[in-house]
């Protein structure tokens, strides 16, 4: 289960049982842990399962949370969460290469790295936007833990991929003429 605080982009994720969908009780339990740290939100934008259940709706009503349920089969309506899913999934795949069934052990390490990456729109990391200080990551210390070494490799490989893609698109853009005869400028 993945969520993103909309103003700062601060991501959160919780491992749930490998069932068809997370139950409302599991979702409420995970959200209680998050809300105990940050307080209750004014509104909550969610997909249908399990958040469309009566149990979850009652939980939101009791806690005065405005619940916005998105249309089914339209993930683009919740773009922030969909965008964060990809790096979380890729990082978990890389970090759990040796023991794929234990991917859930790496969620906190992956989130720590993602929370420390500055956003293009704000220039600050989600962590900084929430807490007002820069995070102290294990990657910045002399002795790296076994979990942070794969995270560092993932970050560097993702950076290299982004650089290559940027320059490919930049070369295409540079080659295009900006104006042609007949354009109104």
Asked whether residue 40 is assigned to any structural domain, the reply reads yes
pLDDT tens, residue by residue, 16-27: 775 555 688 888
Report the range of poorest mean pLDDT among 2-11, 87-96, 151-160, 164-173.
164-173
Task: Give yes or no for a contact between 110 and 92, defined as CB atoms under 8 angstroms apart.
Answer: yes
Asked whether residue 181 is assigned to any structural domain, the reply reads no
pLDDT of residue 173: 57
Question: What pTM was computed for the model?
Answer: 0.66
Q: What is the mean pLDDT of residues 156-180?
A: 69
Residue 3 phi, psi (nearest 5):
-140, 155
Asked whether residue 115 is assigned to any structural domain, the reply reads yes
pLDDT tens, residue by residue, 85-139: 889 989 998 888 888 888 888 999 899 989 998 988 888 999 999 888 888 876 5
Q: What is the mean pLDDT of residues 154-183?
A: 70
Supply the CATH number for residue 137's domain: 3.30.420.10
Asked whether residue 69 is assigned to any structural domain, the reply reads yes
Asked whether residue 11 is assigned to any structural domain, the reply reads yes
Asked whether residue 166 is assigned to any structural domain, the reply reads yes
Indicate the DSSP class of residue 52.
Answer: T
pLDDT of residue 60: 92
pLDDT of residue 70: 83
Instruction: State the total domains in the chain.
Output: 1
Asked whether residue 180 is assigned to any structural domain, the reply reads no
pLDDT tens, residue by residue, 14-69: 887 755 556 888 888 888 988 888 889 998 888 777 778 889 899 999 999 998 88
pLDDT of residue 61: 93
Q: Which domain holds residue 59?
A: 2-170
Q: DSSP strand E in the chain: where? A: 2-4, 11-13, 43-46, 66-69
Distance CA 95, CA 149 (A): 9
Asked whether residue 152 is assigned to any structural domain, the reply reads yes
């Amino acid at each position: 289960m993945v969520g993103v605080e909309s103003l700062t982009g601060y991501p959160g994720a919780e491992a749930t049982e490998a069932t068809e969908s997370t139950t409302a009780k599991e979702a409420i339990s995970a959200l209680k842990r998050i809300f105990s740290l940050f307080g209750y939100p004014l509104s909550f934008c969610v997909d249908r399962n399990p958040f469309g259940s009566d149990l979850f709706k009652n939980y939101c009503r009791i806690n005065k949370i405005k619940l916005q349920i998105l249309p089914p089969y339209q993930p683009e309506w919740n773009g922030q969460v969909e965008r964060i899913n990809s790096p979380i999934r890729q990082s978990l795949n890389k970090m759990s290469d040796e023991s794929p069934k234990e991917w859930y052990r790496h969620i906190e390490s992956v989130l720590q790295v993602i929370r420390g990456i500055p956003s293009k729109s704000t220039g600050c990391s989600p962590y900084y936007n929430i807490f007002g200080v820069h995070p102290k990551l294990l990657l910045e210390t002399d002795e790296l833990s076994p979990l942070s070494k794969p995270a560092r490799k993932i970050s560097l490989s993702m950076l290299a991929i982004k650089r290559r893609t940027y320059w490919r698109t930049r070369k295409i853009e540079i080659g295009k003429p900006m104006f042609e005869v007949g354009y109104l400028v």
